[in-house]
Chains A and B, each alone.
Chain A
Amino acid sequence: MPGAIYAEGLVKTFGDVRALDGVDLDVPEGTVLGLLGPNGAGKTTAVRCLTTLLRPDSGKAVVAGLDVLRQPNEVRRSIGLSGQFAAVDEYLTGRENLQMVGQLYQMKGRAAKARAAELLEQFHLSDAADRPTKTYSGGMRRRLDLAAALVVSPPVMFMDEPTTGLDPRNRQELWEVIKQLVAGGTTLLLTTQYLEEADHLAHDIAVVDHGRVIARGTSDQLKARTGGERVEVVVHERDRIATASEVLAGFGKGSTTVEEHTRKLTVPVTGGAKLLAEVIRELDTRGIEIDDIGLRRPTLDDVFLSLTGHLAEMADEANGSADDAGHEQEKETAK
């Protein structure tokens, strides 16, 4: 039996670009699938096809047991959509936005009003409920956006990059909200550029590149394929690179890569924090001064590099995704 979200051979072309090049997906009821990939991989196009916003050139899609192409209006009754492209009205208050969405889901005026109040409470927006959403912070807007997708408690939810552009605290907060939602039994398809996010929220991950699913599995399975952890060292003096490289070779589970101009050495390892401590001690014993050292877990870039042989290009988009990628890197190093 197909899952709550099922797609087979979805193809969508825009001119010469094959945005979707035969995507297959199967999300069992009550689980979360993370669609992971860089900008332009086809994640958003896939979500738009599954949520009736875009008609695929070919292929089959079933959501909540309904044929997306033949019963679009019935599908719309059973889904909630939130994320980078489904917005709220910035001149309406939070309450007005939710009431409007409720009414457009064909709820009666009074029911829509009651549901709006309930959601505002649940998403900690009661204090700001009667302010135009223009005045909301980025995090508050995303929460309201999510609330709007939940007005009728749909059995199937789609979230397109729900945390892109949010600061780490707001991202964390939104993750909690999403976790609660999933605990309630909602089936969720979530797109993200961040492995960390998929890691936190998704049962299964499908990696998308150039309109195709190039790998799927749990977060651990994907990381294992990528080669696990690495130690990354930045030495203070360029002429100590060779010595440092020798030290790392002693601990590494593979060859060390060296970036001369940044004085950065990277080596795959197993053994976590304990091993990191040993590396530091050894470098110290040899008198190698270091500027930075960290244990890095695989990032999206690493997964991509190992899966496709090319780097995930974090194209500059409206939200400054490139900055976010940098941010991610920083946090990983700090761990």
Chain B
Amino acid sequence: MSAATDAAPVTAPGNPIGQSVRDSLVIARRNLIRMTRIPEMVLFGIIQPVMFVILFTYVFGGSIKVGSTTDSDVYKDFLMAGIFAQTVTFATAGSAAGIADDMQKGLVDRFRSLPMARGAVLTGRTVADLVQTSITLLVLAIVALLVGWRTGSAEPTNIGRVLAGFGLLLLLGYAFTWIGALIGLSVRTPEAATSGGIIWLFPVTFVSNAFVDPTQMTPWLRHVAEWNPFSAVVQACRELFGNPGVVQSDAWPMQHPVWATLTYSIVIVLIFRTLAVRKYRRAAG
């Protein structure tokens, strides 16, 4: 299975990139059809972050200090970027479970025996997950507005900047689903993929600026938090949304969170897509 024969099949109709895109769309469509047949999965995916928004807002609101205030309205505006970012990264578990399920059920073997583009099964999965994440994020934003989240509450902003913030969230979320794809290919069961897809996200999302100010952490933890890709997107969103809690730090990702998020996302996709596709090609069902 050399790269050369895969990339340029002698009798292939059309060009390889066109085929790759077509095959990925066929698989994405298949995964989206599945979502409509298992609506409860989409529903739980929405309920979980909505619950976080409500619990955090009403339980912690008023007792956590943001900057120099414990005003619960300030806290809401501070909180949402973190919750949004957590939501998009938790989609990783869905990708991992979905791919592990395909492996276990023998679908990966079916696909691997077909003359299709090698990366398409994984790309199709991540694209379908991106669609699902977008829906979840939309619902979540509406709920956030309902409980009192407002853009431009700390600094002025505009609709373009707000949408750019959501774009960055989806981009980093998409990059993370490739980590999920690799996890899904590496474990034996969908159950293991679900926990394996989520466990590592707790330190990633909590050792960050999402829920507390990293300048309050011990120095080494603070460095980890400031260079955490997850912190970059949260920082970027707070800036773009005009929300409070922007970390004052000399660390490059905190200074240039938008560029940092873009860079991190591209690097994560490049590394994990390469690893995942290689693993897929050798996958034993």
Contact = CB atoms under 8 A, between A and B. Distances in A.
Interface of A: 48, 51-55, 69-74, 76-77, 79, 81, 84-92, 96, 100-101, 103-106, 132, 148
B167 interface: no
Contact of B33 (A70, A72, A92): A92
A53 B112 contact: yes
Most B C-beta atoms less than 10 A away, residue of A48, A71, A103 = A103
Contact of A52 (B1, B29, B284, B285): B1
B111 A104 contact: yes
B106 A100 contact: no
Given A87-B109, A89-B34, A106 B5 contact: no
A54 B112 CA distance: 10
Contacts of B13: 106
A91 B38 contact: yes
Most B C-beta atoms less than 10 A away, residue of A88, A100, A101 = A100
Most B C-beta atoms less than 10 A away, residue of A51, A52, A81, A87 = A87
B30 A89 contact: yes
A52 B1 CA distance: 8
B226 interface: no
10 contacts: A53-B112, A53-B113, A69-B1, A71-B10, A72-B1, A74-B115, A81-B110, A85-B106, A87-B110, A104-B111
Contacts of A90: 105
Given A53-B112, A104-B116, A106-B115, A74 B34 contact: no
A87 B105 contact: yes
B115 A73 contact: yes
Contacts of B34: 89, 91-92
A96 B33 contact: yes
B113 A106 contact: no
B115 A76 contact: yes
Contact of B110 (A72, A86, A91, A96): A86
B6 interface: yes
B5 A72 contact: yes
B77 interface: no
A73 B33 contact: no
Contacts of A74: 5, 9-11, 115
A167 to B, nearest CB: 21
Given A70-B5, A71-B5, A101 B285 contact: no
B23 interface: yes
Interface residues of B, number: 34
B22 to A, nearest CB: 8
Given A86-B109, A104-B26, A77 B19 contact: no
Interface in B160-210: none
B6 A73 contact: yes
Contacts of A79: 113
Contacts of A54: 284
B33 A81 contact: no
A90 B105 CA distance: 9
B118 to A, nearest CB: 9
A218 to B, nearest CB: 29
Nearest to B6: A73
B114 interface: yes
Contacts of B23: 103-104
Nearest to B25: A103
A71 B201 CA distance: 41
B271 interface: no
B116 A87 contact: no
B107 interface: yes
A76 B33 contact: no
Given A52-B112, A103-B26, A105-B114, A87 B5 contact: no
Nearest to A106: B13
A305 to B, nearest CB: 32
A105 B115 contact: yes
Most B C-beta atoms less than 10 A away, residue of A81, A86, A88, A132 = A86
B285 A85 contact: yes
B264 to A, nearest CB: 33
A85 B5 contact: no
Given A91-B33, A92-B30, A77 B11 contact: yes
Contacts of B106: 84-87
B158 to A, nearest CB: 42
A77 B115 contact: yes
A179 B252 CA distance: 69
Nearest to A90: B105
Nearest to B37: A91
A53 B282 CA distance: 8
8 nearest A-B pairs in the assembled complex, by CB-CB distance: A87-B106, A76-B115, A91-B37, A81-B113, A73-B9, A104-B116, A86-B110, A77-B115
B267 interface: no
A30 B41 CA distance: 47
B113 to A, nearest CB: 4
